[in-house]
Amino acid sequence: MSDLPTEYDDQEHDDFGRDEGPGIEFLVEDVDFELADAQDLTSWIERVAEVHEHEIVQLTYIFCSDEYLHKVNLEYLEHDTYTDVITFDNADDADIIEGDIFISVERVRENAQIHGVTFRDELHRVMIHGVLHLLGYADKDLLSQTAMRKKEDDCLLLRTF
């Protein structure tokens, strides 16, 4: 986890998914949050990787607060904005997934309300959004954002739970 923020490396964290699947971890930092269906999520994420012909070597999700993610955004990306997800790609090989995905639980809740969707669906969309970045998809302009949204929808259809 070489690109993880230093404060993440040094802090204690709650681990509730270390044994859920090969190379996938679900961690919680500074927020009261419990992930439902960790095993199902692991299977789904692995299925998405397989469909894209990638192997998951190490994928860590860190669920946190708005302030925690804002600090990561400022410190490591020099962006003074709040966001729902930040992805760090640690892979040396284009065919593998190795990275860290930070997700603001507060921002996901707010966005779910704004977009009129369930928290669960918005959380899954954000989780797979991070994976899509690790698969090489971008969302810097309107055209790539539209393509990313379509890929998110396609991946959400792969859920079986």
Q: What's the CA gap between 83 and 111, in Å, rounded?
A: 10
Average pLDDT over residues 101-122: 98
Structure tokens at 143: 């055209």
Let me know if residue 122 belongs to a domain: yes
**Mind listing the pLDDT tens digit for each residue in 135-151?**
999 999 999 999 999 99
CATH code assigned at 133? 3.40.390.30
pLDDT at 1 over 70: no
Numbered residues of the known binding site for Zn(2+):
129, 133, 139
- Host domain of residue 21: 6-156
Split into its structural domains, the chain has a count of 1
Q: What is the pTM of this model?
A: 0.87
**DSSP letter for each residue of 98-137:** EEEEEEEHHHHHHHHHHHT--HHHHHHHHHHHHHHHHTT-
CA 153, 155, 160, 161 dihedral sign is negative
Contact criterion met (CB below 8 Å) for 33 and 13: no
Among 1-15, 51-65, 88-102, name the one with the lowest average pLDDT. 1-15
Residue 21 lies in a domain: yes
Residue 51 located in a structural domain:
yes
Query: Does residue 17 lie in a domain region?
Result: yes
CA dist 69 and 23 (Å) reads: 23
Residue 151 in any domain: the answer is yes
Q: What is the pLDDT confidence band of residue 9, given thresholds at 50, 70 and 90?
A: very low
Give mean pLDDT, residues 69-89: 97
What's the pLDDT band for 105 if we cut at 50, 70, 90?
very high
Annotated binding residues: 129, 133, 139
As a whole number of angstroms, the distance between CA 15 and CA 61 comes to 10
Query: Contact 24/45 with Cβ under 8 angstroms?
Result: yes
In this structure, is residue 161 part of a structural domain? no
